[in-house]
A and B are shown apart, each in its own frame.
Chain A
Amino acid sequence: MMTEKAEPRIGVFVCHCGHNIAGVVDVAKVVESAKSLPHVVLSTDHMFMCSDAGQQLIKDRIKEQKLNRVVVASCSPRMHEPTFRRVVEDAGLNRYLFDQVNIREHVSWCHMRQPKEATDKAIDLVRMSVARAAELESLPIKSVSVTPRTLVVGGGIAGLRASLDIADRGFEAVLVERMPELGGHVRKWTHLFPADESGEQIIAPLVRQAEHHKLVRVMKDSEVVEFGGYIGNFTAKIKNHKTGMVKEVDVGTVIVATGFEPFRPFGYYEYGQHPDIITLAELQEMTPRADLIRPSDGKKVKKLAFIGCVGSREAGKLGHEHCSRHCCSAVAKAAADLRDRVDEVVIMYQDIRTYGRGHEELHRLARSKLVIYSKFPKEKKPVVQIANGRIRITWYDVLSGDNLEYEPDLLVLASAMIPPADVAETSKMFSLTRSADGFFNPEHIKLAPLTTHTAGVMIAGAAQAAKNASESVVDASGAAAKAVGLMARGNVEIESTVSHVIPELCSSCHTCVTACPYGAIAMDTKKSPPVALVTEAKCKGCGTCAASCPSSAIIMYHSTDEQILTMVEAYLCPSTQTTGGVA
């Protein structure tokens, strides 16, 4: 923190916002009241402070009156704080020496019918802001450089797409895959809806491109074993299982594309008790041949059955509450394809979720091929029994109201997509949070589905939620765009409104370390005793640490105790002698 302590010279600029503010608030009175406040050398108004004319007014007055603090009373800072910060910067002031008072959303709009009270409130808020402004301090404008290299974790279809996009765009990608081969689940699958090609056919060109691309460094049989740093400056240690060698790479950004795992539904429908009860994933991995052969005895399957929602949509069962999204369409595609090779196909389902364009058509295709769909009730699932080596399913068909039974030659369970077994470790390694479905949480579920709360770390594909291959690839390109955006700029500006630990006051209690939701605080072991240290690039300025610190050892820059308490004091003691500060 800088400690320049020139006498504050505060300019107060009150905006009319047309009639938006001035129609309710007596702007002249607000301007007048501000004139008598301590350190205020100028108080004025303008019809539209955000307009070019208004901005020029602020710049001119800063120069004429040698202002070193600026208070603008106008609208919500959400829209125009960046505008006014830029204005004061243009006039040579540090952007943090500006404070905005919201007298529109917080005053004129919500107290439209009480002009007097609204004016009083505006006066109070301006007085508080002026008191705070006197305490504001310049903060450095910091940026960190971004290492132009991306670590892509997971060599499935998402990881491949992301790596290739980054490399084609001219940046380096380090693609880490723990299996001996790239291609993930897609490579193993024979039926990849909605395509008519096999997974192998689809993925092979991508794998080839990745392995030959000059800018893609493929590390197979490898896993990230250690990861640290902050946006733009991460370091990962990658261990090769086969050689045992550990390599360290510096990267600026990370894409986690660790995908999913097909749930192996032991305990459901006698799975594991009979070789002819398999999962959809296992069906898709069977070698394609002219006939569908059952695993138990190699005989041709005549009667084929599917059961949907196995390990999915189970309210109250953690990690299995979600819909696995891809299975309905995949089952419809598999059933339609296999219907030509077997005599009869029965699909037992709870709901048919062939959502979106192209998927409903698969459902319709299956129906047109006389695949039998039978709906079972959510609360009364089918029962599978094995008797004399035969599989026997009994269930209640909702639509006909009948109890039915069926003895298929092969039973396929459409089992859930769940996170890989080691998702918890991955989550910890990259400081990612997880949602109830067990997959990683995006930064914002609607508008920021690819970035995470850890700046510089993106997620793509089924690492984020159950998804099909096409959707995963969209994510992958999108996550690549996020990574490239950071690398192309070369550096990122980081907010200076971060927390800071005063080492002398730190009692090494670790409270802040656990309180920080962003993993931005660690113990600085170089000090003795170790004290808490904030990685500013990771800090979001939320203040949780400062609030929790029992030793008051943490300062929140731009929201210091002094800056907050002086506002409270200015509100409670509206004397012109208010100087702020805490005792």
Chain B
Amino acid sequence: MTTEETSKQNSSAGQTESKVPAALVVGGGVAGMQAALDIASQGFKVYLLEQSPSIGGRMAMIDKTFPTLDCSACILTPRLSETSRNPNIELLTYSEVKSITGEAGDFRVRIRRKARYVNEKKCSACAECVPVCPVEVPNDFDQGLGFRKAIYSPFPQSTPNAYTIDKKGEPPCRATCPAHVNAQGFVTLMKHGKYDEALEIVRDAIPFPGVLGRVCISFCEAECERGTLDDSMSIRNLHRFLADYERENNLAKPVVPKIDKKERVAVVGAGPAGISCAYQLARKGYPVTVFEAKPEAGGLLRYAIPEYRLPRNILDEEIQRVVDLGVKIKVNTPVKSVRDLLAKGFKAVFVGTGASVSNKIGLPGEEIVGVIHSVEFLEKVNTGQDVKIGEKVAVIGGGDAAIDAARVAVRLGASDVTVIYRRSNIEIPAIPSEVEDAKSEGVKFMMLTNPIEILSPRGVLTGIRCVRMRLGEPDHSGRSRPVPIVGSEFTMAVNTLILGVGQSANPRGVQTECDCTEYATVKADPVTLQTSIPGVFAGGDVVLGPLTVVKAVGQGRQAADSIDMYLRGIPFGHSPPERHRVQSYEVDKRRVLPAKRAIMAKQGIRSRKSDFSEVELGFSEETAHSEAERCLGCAVCCDCNQCVKACQRGAIDQSMTDESAELSVGAIIIATGYRLFDITAYPQLGYGRYSNVIHAMEYERLINASGPTKGHLIRLSDGRIPESMGFIQCVGARDVSKDVPYCSRVCCMYAIKNAVMAREHNPDADVTIYYADIRAFGKGFEQFYDMAQTRFGVKFVRGRVAEVAEDKHTHNLTVRYEDTETGTLHDVEHEMIVISPGIQPPEGLDDLAVELGMDLAADGYVDVADQIVTPVDTKIAGVFVCGCADAPKDIPDSVSAGSAAAMRATIILNNMRKKV
């Protein structure tokens, strides 16, 4: 006789992988839960793995159950809490199996636990986070009929009773932005008019929402997923709107410095990189001093970018905010040595001195009167110096500085301005809208042309000689190399030649104290931006060479993070893993209506050509709002952190990452459930085209009190209560041509139940079931079928439906069917049609089978070893099956099979214990 001690498992986890044999149950539906409970009740350990955030499976979605009309949730809920409370069951929700090795009695299972971003133990499901979440997506639990937030709990009784953040990763816009501005975040908040919070998100990343809102090259827009549908989002203009809105409505809150750290940091250069670095450091509490050689802060933003693109009050105000944060800016203070700064007590230095030296084009005559470099030209204009300009102006180069120079030349009165660029208008690096604006202001563009000689017969510029180019093989930059076309030389007359062929770092600059490249740019670590001198960091053009403002701003931020780590003594080298960038296929684009990108209003051409007033006029609130609405919300959660602020229990942890774990188990139970047949395979039934044709699971949610309509049975087209309903059977079942030769077993009964519920909701409704055979075979089923006819007056018509047609005006539906009992054709009008889809093996079962080395049957189901003698044993020893993974089953049959699989599994677990 065998007696066993009660195995009272210590609830204190963390004891060495105890000797208690364990089983893995894959799938937390009603069958999987039953299996887990019956194994656990014997004192064995059970891992119950479920891919969704909650156990409960399909049963949790169902409204009522046949044949007793029990409320599904009411009978399921105690089972959910019983499962979650059982000390021998470890719930692994939001998890999936990655690999399985080993054999019966000794399986090793590697699993991935997806990050929930909510601490299960701290969350109490109070739902305070829900109203503040700005992201709405179709609620898959409600079959997409309603919406849910990015932070959600699938249903009120979800187990574990914790919320989950649906976060697919980093959206392309944010991943692309050199400054990591959370574009999806602020755009999403704008949809709800939360401009203040939205601007806060921009300011988390950059000090320049208004400046970059005007001059950013917008790498984000090039990667915007919306662009694959119609036009990309106008992201730059949206954050400009935020800054404008705050200014115009005087909403800016006073900035309060919070300098609470002692370590002083010096920043050399008050350009975009330096200001950005100082800003982020000040936000972290460091006292920062910025040293600037020029009379004013702003670097190229101030000295190179023309006012019509960036009004100086915008720049001044945004720099002032940085000063208000506690940053000291010392202008007219060139720095001689970074080592001196360290010696003077600065604990760290950031070098952001930019690329201040203009490149030469290498032609004789570059120094003569009438030839000027674009940055010098722009600086003179921007600092109010008198600049002489000729009638005919040629600008060499295709960068933003070249275009700026050309447009400034127009404003200074030049009558003929030509931009000469050696590649084509595909390769031109300037912002496309700037090129367009320049063209509309009369600037000519001469593409695929290069100057070869500056003509200055008497020391006075008279013209240039150029050659036409063609594009050859790509060069080291990946762009096609321009090749001169022999014999295509020509001469053009010019009075002023502006050279905009780039900038370089000053070879005698302060940065040369650190190790530099041959171009005098600093060799900084690409991740930390630390230079060869410990404690000295560098960023912006002085590292990258002349690039764009946003890259400089991004490096300033990056350096600030490194400086913070450096000063806090945190070793480098363990940066968090790169976040998954959301891929195009992951973005749900099914319900998106086409909408054009918003165009920003501009000043009239004539008036703008005459002065330096701003050309682009900004978005109206209405335009900004509708533009924001176009965002697809690629990553679902937009990282706006509104929930973090709302959660009073500190349960939300945005830093969570997916984790992997290895389980040692003696037996595995497959309880992966089923999926519904995709009924769009029967286009003649109109599902997906006619809004009043729905499928049975949608119907379940529609009549469920916690569903999208709070349980009101209405038509989706007009919200009316349907007076006449038709239920169509055997769709995706018993159909060899659709690879579903088998009967789905449950559809007859759930349809009868649904029909009865339709009569319960509206006793006057006319309810008809179109069936092939009514298969009421289980305990109490035939009586229920009988009751549906006699007590509830549900009509049963034996006839396969050929087609469903919609009336365009009433959205009523005409069912054409052959009554197979009489052989007659009929057309019957209904106000709603519910299709009963068959069920199929679940998605992912094939992957699991591969891991188990198991061959699935031709129809995709698990094959059992012996249908009569061992109906829950698979052909792989130690692996068992229950629920719908081996064939369609109703709830009681699934539950019985769950218990049976548990029994078979525990025989193995017990033998393991004997060996120990």
Q: Give the B-binding residues of A (Cβ under 8 A).
A: 17-20, 47-48, 50-52, 78-79, 82, 148-149, 157, 161, 165, 168-172, 186, 192, 194-195, 202, 205-206, 215, 312-313, 315, 321-323, 325, 351-361, 364, 375, 398-399, 401, 435-437, 439, 442, 444-450, 464-466, 469-471, 473-482, 484-491
Q: Compute how far the CA of A149 lies from the CA of B896 in the bound complex, rounded to whole angstroms.
A: 22
Contact of A481 among B888, B900, B910 (CB under 8 A): B900
Residue contact A351 to B900, C-beta cutoff 8 Å: no
Residues of A within 8 A of B900 (CB): 473-478, 481
Q: Which residues of B (884-916) have their CB < 8 Å from a CB of A?
A: 886-889, 891-893, 895-904, 906-907, 910, 914
Instruction: Looking at the assembled complex, report how far the CB atom of B62 sits from the nearest CB atom of chain A, in whole angstroms.
Output: 11
Residue contact B773 to A470, C-beta cutoff 8 Å: no
Residue contact A435 to B779, C-beta cutoff 8 Å: yes
Interface centre among B81, B127, B128, B775 (most CB of A within 10 A): B775
Residue contact A477 to B899, C-beta cutoff 8 Å: yes
Residue contact A474 to B782, C-beta cutoff 8 Å: no
Residue contact B68 to A323, C-beta cutoff 8 Å: no
Residue contact A315 to B779, C-beta cutoff 8 Å: no
Residues of B within 8 A of A435 (CB): 779-780
Give me 10 other A-B pairs in contact (C-beta within 8 A), A435-B779, A448-B895 excluded.
A52-B121, A148-B2, A165-B907, A353-B777, A355-B775, A446-B895, A450-B896, A466-B779, A471-B871, A478-B900
Instruction: Looking at the assembled complex, report how far the CB atom of A41 sits from the nearest CB atom of chain B, in whole angstroms.
Output: 27
Q: Compute how far the CA of A358 lies from the CA of B126 in the bound complex, rounded to whole angstroms.
A: 47
Contact of A480 among B124, B776, B903 (CB under 8 A): B903
Residue contact A169 to B907, C-beta cutoff 8 Å: yes
Is B1 at the interface (CB under 8 A from chain A)?
Answer: yes
Take A357-B887, A360-B741, A477-B900 as given contacts and tell me if A449 and B892 are in contact as well, using a CB distance cutoff of 8 Å: yes
Residue contact A436 to B734, C-beta cutoff 8 Å: no
Chain A residue nearest in CB terms to B647 = A18
Residue contact A168 to B907, C-beta cutoff 8 Å: yes
Residue contact B786 to A321, C-beta cutoff 8 Å: yes
Is B15 at the interface (CB under 8 A from chain A)?
Answer: no
Q: Compute how far the CA of A81 lies from the CA of B793 in the bound complex, rounded to whole angstroms.
A: 43
Residue contact B903 to A481, C-beta cutoff 8 Å: yes
Contact of A17 among B126, B745, B891 (CB under 8 A): B126
Q: B4-29 vs A: 1/0 string, CB under 8 Å?
A: 11110000000000000000000000
Take A353-B773, A464-B779 as given contacts and tell me if A47 and B648 are in contact as well, using a CB distance cutoff of 8 Å: yes
Residue contact B778 to A478, C-beta cutoff 8 Å: no
Q: Compute how far the CA of A18 lies from the CA of B30 in the bound complex, rounded to whole angstroms.
A: 30
Instruction: Looking at the assembled complex, report how far the CB atom of B791 sits from the nearest CB atom of chain A, in whole angstroms.
Output: 12
Q: Which residues of B (759-782) have their CB < 8 Å from a CB of A?
A: 773-782
Residues of A within 8 A of B914 (CB): 170
Residues of A within 8 A of B166 (CB): none
Contact of B75 among A168, A351, A444 (CB under 8 A): A444
Q: Compute how far the CA of A153 lies from the CA of B81 in the bound complex, rounded to whole angstroms.
A: 33
User: What 6 A-B pairs have minimum CB-CB distances, sorted nearest first?
Assistant: A18-B126, A478-B899, A477-B900, A485-B41, A357-B887, A481-B903
Interface window among B213-221, B317-325, B817-825:
B817-825
Residues of A within 8 A of B85 (CB): 82
Contact of B783 among A78, A436, A471 (CB under 8 A): A436
Q: Compute how far the CA of A52 lies from the CA of B887 in the bound complex, rounded to whole angstroms.
A: 43
Instruction: Looking at the assembled complex, report how far the CB atom of B21 sits from the nearest CB atom of chain A, in whole angstroms.
Output: 12
Residues of A within 8 A of B868 (CB): 157, 186, 192, 195, 202, 469-470, 473
Contact of B906 among A169, A353, A356, A399 (CB under 8 A): A169
Instruction: Looking at the assembled complex, report how far the CB atom of B788 sits from the nearest CB atom of chain A, in whole angstroms.
Output: 12
Residue contact B4 to A478, C-beta cutoff 8 Å: no
Residue contact A195 to B867, C-beta cutoff 8 Å: yes
Q: Compute how far the CA of A462 lies from the CA of B274 in the bound complex, rounded to whole angstroms.
A: 82
Is B742 at the interface (CB under 8 A from chain A)?
Answer: yes
Is B743 at the interface (CB under 8 A from chain A)?
Answer: yes
Take A50-B124, A446-B892 as given contacts and tell me if A315 and B786 are in contact as well, using a CB distance cutoff of 8 Å: yes
Q: Give the A-binding residues of B (Cβ under 8 A).
A: 1-7, 30, 34, 38, 41-43, 65, 67-68, 70, 75-79, 81, 85, 121-122, 124, 126-128, 648-649, 734, 736, 741-743, 745, 773-783, 786, 820-823, 859, 861, 867-872, 886-889, 891-893, 895-904, 906-907, 910, 914
Residues of B within 8 A of A481 (CB): 38, 899-900, 902-903, 906
Residue contact A357 to B861, C-beta cutoff 8 Å: yes
Chain B residue nearest in CB terms to A476 = B900
Residues of A within 8 A of B65 (CB): 446
Residues of A within 8 A of B891 (CB): 446-447
Residue contact B743 to A322, C-beta cutoff 8 Å: no
Q: Compute how far the CA of A512 lies from the CA of B278 in the bound complex, rounded to whole angstroms.
A: 85
Residue contact A206 to B70, C-beta cutoff 8 Å: no
Residues of B within 8 A of A475 (CB): 896, 900
List, sorted by A's number, 23 A–B pairs whose CB atoms are closer than 8 Å.
Answer: A17-B126, A19-B127, A148-B2, A168-B907, A169-B910, A170-B914, A172-B2, A323-B777, A325-B778, A355-B775, A361-B742, A399-B823, A445-B779, A445-B780, A447-B30, A447-B75, A473-B871, A477-B900, A477-B904, A478-B900, A488-B7, A488-B41, A489-B42
Chain A residue nearest in CB terms to B85 = A82
Q: Compute how far the CA of A399 lies from the CA of B786 in the bound complex, rounded to whole angstroms.
A: 22
Residues of B within 8 A of A449 (CB): 892-893, 895-896
Chain B residue nearest in CB terms to A160 = B869
Residue contact A474 to B896, C-beta cutoff 8 Å: yes
Residue contact A490 to B5, C-beta cutoff 8 Å: yes
Residue contact B742 to A356, C-beta cutoff 8 Å: yes
Residues of A within 8 A of B782 (CB): 312-313, 321-323
Q: Compute how far the CA of A351 lies from the CA of B4 in the bound complex, rounded to whole angstroms.
A: 51
